[in-house]
Amino acid sequence: MLLLVDLDGVVYRGAEPVPGVPAVLAARVAAGDDVVYVTNNSMWYRADYVERLSGMGAPVSPDRIVSSARATALYLREMKPPVRRVLVVGGPGLVHEIRDAGIEVLFSADAAERWIANGRDAAAAVGTVDAVVVGLDLEFTYARLACAAEAVRAGARFVATNRDPIYPHEKGFMPGAGSVVAAIAAASLCEPVSIGKPGPLLLEVAAHAAGRDAADAVMIGDSTVTDLPAAHAVGARSVLMLTGITTRAQVAALPAAAQPDEIAEDASELAAALDRLAARTATV
């Protein structure tokens, strides 16, 4: 099987692995499955994920990491008219991925410094950019908001890595990229194109990384708002983990058409669910 695996809330919460999940994934790879990680988190570069996941015992290689940052960079590279210079509101991974795509980056921190130095003149601080790209920014400020909103109002294309309002970590929940995007959308009076789940692009790019079709995959995620709709959008099967942001009561409240194929509360239930899905695949 091809397993498309979310990260935050599924493989780990913050710095802590979800107990047993890395071992389950390693066992599936040993049995012949392909594992590709798909995450809406745009803060980190692919190499950062490889180090983190391998340290937890999860099977991983750089070509099997498809973040919203990576998918956004590929999207920008294909845009017409060409995108040559962008203002990035986000983390270092997003900047790195966009630069890897051959696009010049103006980092929002630098624009904010110019905004202050130029008497709060956002147009002078930013100059001309073809797009404003927004992801999770842990140091988001009013100055960064002002620069991004002005650039969008001036005609730059507005691209969000994802619209997740929150994301889980080991001590609870933190504001997600969607919270930053919402602020810029409100200030610019413009809505962005969004690359990450629940749209299909992340899963399609991830499946292609393994030479497979997304419709043949099993999506393993923790969100009824992003992961399940993305799976349904590409025709993939799904396992919903209750180790992240979703409760069993929330799953029960979903209409029949939006239900996952399997639900798992922990690693042992995930292993059993994948065994059942593999058996169904073998009989088709």
Kindly list the distances between the CA atom of residue 191 and the CA atoms of 80, 126, 186, in Å, as whole numbers in the listed order.
Answer: 19, 20, 8
Q: Per the residue annotation, which of 8, 34, 130, 137 is the catalytic one?
A: 8
Active site residue 8: yes
DSSP state of 243: S
282: left (phi over 0), alpha (psi -120 to 50) or beta: alpha
Going by their DSSP bridges, the two strands 16-17 and 12-13 should be labelled as: antiparallel
Q: Per the residue annotation, which of 6, 34, 130, 137 is the catalytic one?
A: 6
At 15 the three-state DSSP class reads: coil
Active site residue 261: no
The residue whose two tokens read 């620069």 is 147
Q: Look at residues 3, 4, 10 and name the one whose alpha carbon lies nearest to residue 56.
A: 10
- How far is it, in rounded angstroms, from Cα 178 to Cα 16? 23
Burial of 63 (0-12, 13-18, 19+ CB in 10 A): exposed
Q: Look at residues 117, 108, 114 and name the one whose alpha carbon lies nearest to residue 140.
A: 108
- How far is it, in rounded angstroms, from Cα 199 to Cα 192? 13
> Which residues are known to be catalytic?
6, 8
